[in-house]
Amino acid sequence: MKNAVKRVVLAYSGGLDTSVILRWLQDNYGCEVVTFTADLGQGEELEPARAKAEMMGATQIFIEDLREEFVRDYVFPMFRANTVYEGAYLLGTSIARPLIAKRLVEIAHETGADAVAHGATGKGNDQVRFEISAYALDPSIRVIAPWREWDLNSRDKLIEYAEARQIPIPRGKRGEPPYSTDANLLHISYEGKALEDPWVEPDEEMFTRSVAPEAAPDQPSYVEIDFEQGDPVAVDGIRLSPAALLSRLNDLGGANGIGRLDLLENRFVGMKSRGVYETPGGTLLLAAHRAIESVTLDRGAAHLKDELMPRYAELIYNGFWFTPEREMLQAAIDKSQHNVTGTVRLKLFKGSVQVVGRKSPFTLYSHEYATFEADTVYDQRDAEGFIKLNALRLRIKGLSGRLAAKNEEQRQG
């Protein structure tokens, strides 16, 4: 039996894997197990997890509603940067991990635990995200990752272990599942098994948060989103809390077949993997936020943000939320949002989202300057000098090349 661990806080879902882990920790470490289950808007009833943890002898059980904190302090700051990983992924799984890790460490401190544990495998990104976050928040914390220690390396072995110890197994878990899922208020992801061949189209029955684009209404829907300093605060004029607002956008986007993504991505550990995602509300939010920035951000600030974004996205994807570099980037991003206030109107139709209106009290758009009609504020003759100065280096380069060619011609002739 392993030793030196008296009490461990386990990130617990109540599913087969984490239930086996709970008993495995008791069997192999001889320790007390405190369970922590986070409600991040995954849409599942969490009280059965409490009953199961009680039945299996958990010392203490924490089930917490973190939906508002998740959207307010993690999702919204990320969206201020218009964050996408590898040009497409809205980081729904990635952005949830630092909050879970934060509460794991806090609960460990509250309960006097000397370790935390998670159910992430040794192949994926989540092990990195959980553990880097935990170590950043408490350098002395011990992290136990059973998937890197035990020999239960198949679904059959997990089920055998569970049956031998009277751990309840949902009927659907006895067969091989077609894919694994992870859900929260921002998205739901599907990976593995039936999706491992990147040539095979996902089964339509898999999707739960959006209708197929071809089955969406035949008439477009319109939605208006109000922003204050970069964050959405209202939908169609109704002010909502962060979690309620994202939930409303999920409903609107999903009903119009918006937010599906089939991506072959590069994991931090080095391999490529296929993920299929549904992020209806996030897709609307990204389009609307970029639109309100288009009228409120100076060109230099907007372009610099676009340059910083891939680095910021990679930090989140790889698990470096609680780091000095992420905080530095966040400070710059948040500074840019001071005047990102106004309203955006979106048109939703059969899987597409189109910006059809934007307005702001801080708009930098000037009809007087932009009009193609006569104006009194812009002297078009100024453009001649502007163009010549920008072309000067190219003209010098061209003249130099001509002179070199002429000299070479004279040398050979």
- Gyration radius of the chain's alpha carbons: 27
Is-catalytic flag, 180?
yes
Cβ-proximal residues to 292 (8 Å cutoff; 6+ apart), any chain = 227, 340, 341, 342, 343, 344, 358, 360
> Catalytic: which of 155, 180, 221, 294?
180
- Distance between CA 26 and CA 18 in Å, rounded? 12
> Catalytic: which of 39, 126, 226, 231?
126
Residues written for the chain: 413
Structure token digits, residue 350: 């059969």
- Distance between CA 264 and CA 195 in Å, rounded? 11
> With contact defined as beta carbons under 8 Å apart, do 148 and 50 qualify?
no
> With contact defined as beta carbons under 8 Å apart, do 334 and 230 qualify?
yes
Strand 260-266 to 272-278 pairing? antiparallel
Residue found by looking up tokens 């959980």 in the block: 130
| Burial track 26-54 (b if 16+ CB lie within 10 A, e otherwise) | beebebbbbbbbbbbbbeeeeeebbebbe
> Catalytic: which of 13, 17, 19, 260?
17
**Nearest 5°: CA angle at 265, between 263 and 267?**
150
Residue found by looking up tokens 């599913």 in the block: 15
> Catalytic: which of 23, 67, 80, 97?
97
Is-catalytic flag, 39?
no
**Nearest 5°: CA angle at 394, between 391 and 396?**
110
- Distance between CA 78 and CA 101 in Å, rounded? 17
> Where do runs of H (alpha helix) occur along 208-298?
242-255, 280-296
Structure token digits, residue 90: 């809205």
Active site residues: 17, 97, 126, 180
